[in-house]
Amino acid sequence: MAKKIATVKAATKSKVKLASKEVVQAASPKTTKKPVAKSVVAKTVATKLVETKRIPAAKSTPSKASKPKVRSETIKSWYDYPELYELGFLKETPKESKFLMEVFKKYVPFPVQRVLELGCGSGRLICDMAKRGYAMTGLDLNPTALEYCKKKLKKQECVGELVVGDMTNFSFDEPFDAAINAINTFRHLETEEAALAHLNCVAKHLKPGGVFVLSLHLLPPDGDLWGTERWSAKQGEMKVSYALTVVETSMKTRLEKLRISMLVKEKDESFRLSDHITLRIYTAKQLKSLLAKATQFKLIGVHDFWCEIESVQKLNSEAVDTVLILQRV
């Protein structure tokens, strides 16, 4: 299969209009390819980063202390730094892709080829799934992230369609076999109206029997509203330490504000970039109530972020990091 994938030529540039927004770049697959068999070992994820956004260089300020102060900058959006953003998730990506393949095999009554990712960002899943032979389409609000994804696809000699657009209002001509919305992207939709518009739009674009794989963190009834999650990742001589802290939360508005901080250490410089994001809060009960309104979908499976196909959960108050399998009826 690795050989087969290598025959897929680099993306063809074309301009397409979508949801009244112009597509900065869309590379339409010339061929649709069958996904690889489970036993086939896919090529490893590209680990060399492609530079798309210039990371500000640290100014050399004389310091009295022996340890130089790390320069900090508040950025507009951490999604504008796709190479730094995705480094924190690259290690898990192949596991997530393999899980998606297993989901398609288990839950979809026909072979899955065309897959749509909503809020694809840097395209870590788009690229990994394209390598595995899927015809991937990615939609995101952020053109910088899509440009980064485009370069990566080209480098790995894969095709993929990338569209700048809003996941609450988009339109494609051809239906998809499956759709995905990963790691809390859905929670960026701050109102019930937006969440329902998203579910309806996804349903409209799925073939009957096709699935929407929706991953999000749920708040358990006795869950801690505050806290910091820390992790780090290395790429060559660069190490990035991530800290995601809940700084504001309201059960009334059902919104939480999080501060994301990325401490970047390179050979000769260190700097910290930080940003705030707002996410909608869901308990299992609130999510169930929303899904009851999305009548085009039937909940046919619940898993968790461990990505184990044989480990089936329930959508109840014990569910935390949840992966829902919603089938288009």
Ligand X SMILES: C[S@@+](CC[C@H](N)C(=O)[O-])C[C@H]1O[C@@H](n2cnc3c(N)ncnc32)[C@H](O)[C@@H]1O
* Nearest to ligand X of 80, 177 (CB atom): 80
Contacts 24+ apart (CB under 8 A), 231-236: 231/88, 232/88, 233/87, 233/88, 233/90, 233/91, 235/47, 235/49, 235/87
Q: How far is the CB of 80 from ligand X (least distance, A)?
A: 9
In the bound complex, what is the minimum distance in angstroms from residue 141's beta carbon to ligand X? 4
Nearer to ligand X, 140 or 177 (CB): 140
Residue number with CB closer to ligand X (168 or 327):
168
> What's the closest the beta carbon of residue 14 comes to ligand X, in angstroms?
21
Comparison of 58 and 122: residue with beta carbon closer to ligand X:
122
Do 41 and 133 form a contact (C-beta atoms < 8 A)?
no
Closer to ligand X by Cβ: residue 27 or 162:
162
Question: CB of 121: closest distance to ligand X in angstroms?
Answer: 3
Q: Smallest distance, Å, CB 41 to ligand X? A: 23
**Minimum CB–partner distance for residue 124 and ligand X (Å):** 5
| Residue keyed to tokens 């992790």 | 231
- Helix H, strand E, coil C: the string for the chain is CHHHHHCCCCCCEECCEECCEECCCEECCCCCCCCCCCCCCCCCCCCCCCCCCCCCCCCCCCCCCCCCCCEEEECCCHHHCHHHHHHCCHHHHHHHHHHHHHHHHHHCCCCCCEEEEECCCCCHHHHHHHHCCCEEEEEECCHHHHHHHHHHHHHCCCCCEEEECECCECCCCCCEEEEEECCCHHHHCCCHHHHHHHHHHHHHCEEEEEEEEEEEECCCCCCCCCCEEEEEEEECCEEEEEEEEEEEEECCCCEEEEEEEEEEECCCCEEEEEEEEEEECCCHHHHHHHHHHCCCEEEEEEEECCCCCCCCCCCCCCCCEEEEEEEEC
Q: Which is nearer to ligand X, 121 or 133 (CB)?
A: 121
Residue closer to ligand X by CB (options 33, 124) is 124
CB of 168 to ligand X, least distance (A): 6
Binding stretches for ligand X (CB under 6 A): 79, 86, 89, 119-121, 124-125, 140-142, 145, 166-168, 182-185, 188
Nearer to ligand X (CB atom), residue 5 or residue 180: 180
At its nearest, how many Å lie between ligand X and the CB of residue 131? 16
